[in-house]
């Protein structure tokens, strides 16, 4: 699952891959926004991305579909 995070006043997006479901990611984002603290997401390699909720512009949650490689 690919997640793209837009941060206010930053021209680059944060992109990470996670093995969590879209529902789990959405629940984590919703809880962080409701709490007003920080959004913490972990990628497939165990690294964490921490973004203050006040700086979030958007969070794009990609589909769980695997990308195809080669001739289709």
In a domain, 66, yes or no: no
Q: pLDDT at residue 53 above 80?
A: yes
What is the average pLDDT value for the chain, to the nearest integer? 89
In a domain, 21, yes or no: yes
In a domain, 23, yes or no: yes
The C-alpha atoms of residue 67 and residue 24 are separated, in whole angstroms, by 21
Contact at 8 Å (CB) between 2 and 15? yes
In a domain, 46, yes or no: yes
Domain harbouring 54, CATH code: 2.30.30
The C-alpha atoms of residue 28 and residue 1 are separated, in whole angstroms, by 14
Question: Where in the sequence is the domain holding 39, given as residue range(s)?
Answer: 2-61
In a domain, 70, yes or no: no
In a domain, 67, yes or no: no
Share of the chain above pLDDT 90, in %: 81
DSSP code at position 53: G
> How many CA atoms are closer than 13 Å to the CA of 43, on its beta-carbon side?
13
In a domain, 22, yes or no: yes
Domain count, the chain: 1
């Amino acid at each position: 699952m690919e997640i793209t995070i837009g941060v206010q006043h930053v021209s680059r997006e944060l992109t990470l891959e996670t093995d969590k479901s879209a529902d789990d990611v959405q629940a984590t984002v919703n809880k962080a926004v409701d709490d007003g603290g920080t959004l913490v997401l972990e990628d497939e390699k165990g690294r964490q991305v921490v973004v203050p909720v006040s700086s979030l512009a958007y969070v794009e949650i990609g589909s769980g579909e695997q990308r195809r490689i080669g001739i289709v």
